Amino acid sequence: MPKRRSNALPPAADVLPGAHRIVRPRPDGGVTAYWYAWRGGPQILKVTAASDVLLQREIARALPDAIAAYRAERTPSADRKYLYSLITRYLESAEFANCAPRTQRDRRKQLDRVRTELGEMELVAFEAKKARTTLIGWRDKFKATPKTADDLLGALSLVLSWAVDRGEIRTNPVKGFPRIYHVDRADVIWTPENLETIRPHCAPELDHAIRLAVLTGLRQGDLLKVTWAAVREDTIVWQTAKSRRRRTAAIPITDELRALLNEIPRCDSVTILNSSRKRPWTQDGLNSAIQRAKADAKDAAVKSSGDPEARTGLEDLRWHDLRGTAATNFIRAGVELAEVATIMGWEPGKVREIGLRYVTYEEFGKAVAARMQRNTAATEV
């Protein structure tokens, strides 16, 4: 008997962007589909059938009424006074469409949850004296997962600021709200010892990716997309995806980087990095590969020491920490912060703020002291 597809939906469902759909099996062997105008919103369709095939026919038959209900729920009317309608309009806006795909996925998920929890709030409530206190209190319900809590309120704040700019509300009561999630990983970098520990457990393609990350400082998303066409004679020039190609990373090709580029085999793919299948890495594929390498390193440490609790030093390291490793290495090499910003494609107005996320004060101090000593030596000569 073929396996049931629990979320089989007709192509016609594409005419309802943002609608939330659920398909559930029934005890009698049938299946029921529920559609909502949005996650947590009003139901616009419910059909039951004896099989998936029949369900598709029933959905197709009910689709005109579902479309009408969908449009009625999302057409501007009296419901414009509620938060759920405001969030819906934001998700259909040009500003949201202009966000990177990953940002859209994350933000939609956050706002779906906000809309479910707070959707019935009237917009006038955001102008009340206690609105800020109330909303921060709502955020604190999720304090057990502080990053999620801040992300939810941050997504709501973004929508409210968008509404202020359009004159729909007068103020954003949670603008600049105090965060409960704080992380400082500036001192968490991959040391040469860490890199030597993981390297024996990496396939050549993963080894190339790690070394390219350390030598360029590119974010993972950019690292996987950077092409051979971006490699100039002495520089890799790449428009970063984080800024939707509005900022450029200009990475000097050192002898070590040049040697790595010469070592990486070229194939039919235009990207520098490719998996063992000679196709561009995906983020999931690369992350899975490095997790396997870390697990293999752990197994080797346990086998070598006989201690099941043996540590490798890799346990707390993340892929993104390779970016901090690159920034720290640039600073140690005497590159000034403004130049590091150009290499890594940081936002010009936030160079110091961003720099301190990746490089410790101690490393900055050492670099400045080294430059002062070199300048003094040059003056004396």
Same-domain status, 248 and 350: yes
Same domain for 145 and 96? yes
- Based on the domain organization, do 199 and 326 belong to the same domain? yes
**CA atoms of 284 and 226, how far apart (whole Å):** 17
186 domain-assigned: no
Last residue of a domain, one of 48, 75, 102: 75
CA distances from 371 to 44, 78, 187 (A): 67, 65, 22
pLDDT of res. 37? 81
Number of domains in the chain: 3
**Residues of the domain holding 25:** 11-75
Domain shared by 222 and 284, yes or no: yes
Q: Which residues of 277-304 are buried (b: 16+ CB within 10 A; e: fewer)?
A: eeebbeeebbeebbeebbeebbeebeee
Instruction: Find the CATH number of the domain harbouring 96.
Output: 1.10.150
**Same domain assignment for residues 58 and 91:** no
Residues 213 and 64 in one domain: no
User: Comparing C-alpha atoms, which of 6, 5, 4, 41 is closest to residue 20?
Assistant: 41
- CATH code (residue 365): 1.10.443.10
The CA distance from 347 to 249, in Å, is 10
Question: Does some domain include residue 174?
Answer: no
Residue in the block written with tokens 């073929």: 2
46 and 18 share a domain? Answer: yes
Residue 316 sits in the same domain as residue 358: yes
In a domain, 5, yes or no: no
Q: Are 1 and 74 in contact (CB under 8 A)?
A: no
Q: Are residues 302 and 337 in the same domain?
A: yes
Q: Are residues 25 and 123 in the same domain?
A: no
In three-state form (DSSP H/G/I as H, E/B as E, the rest C), the secondary structure along 75-119 is CCCHHHHEHHHHHHHHHCCHHHHCCCHHHHHHHHHHHHHHHHHHC
Q: Clarify whether residues 319 and 259 are in a common domain.
A: yes
Q: Is residue 271 part of a domain?
A: yes
- One domain for residues 229 and 313: yes
Res 14: pLDDT = 57
88 domain-assigned: yes
Reading the chain (381 residues) residue by residue, the pLDDT tens digits are: 444 444 444 444 456 777 888 999 988 889 999 998 877 678 889 999 999 889 889 998 999 888 888 877 766 555 678 898 899 999 988 889 888 787 888 999 999 999 999 988 999 999 899 999 999 999 999 999 999 999 999 999 999 999 999 888 999 999 999 989 876 667 788 999 999 999 999 999 999 999 999 999 999 999 999 999 999 999 999 998 765 556 889 999 999 999 999 999 999 999 999 999 999 999 889 999 999 999 999 999 999 999 999 999 999 899 999 999 999 999 888 888 889 889 988 877 777 777 777 788 788 788 778 878 877 777 765
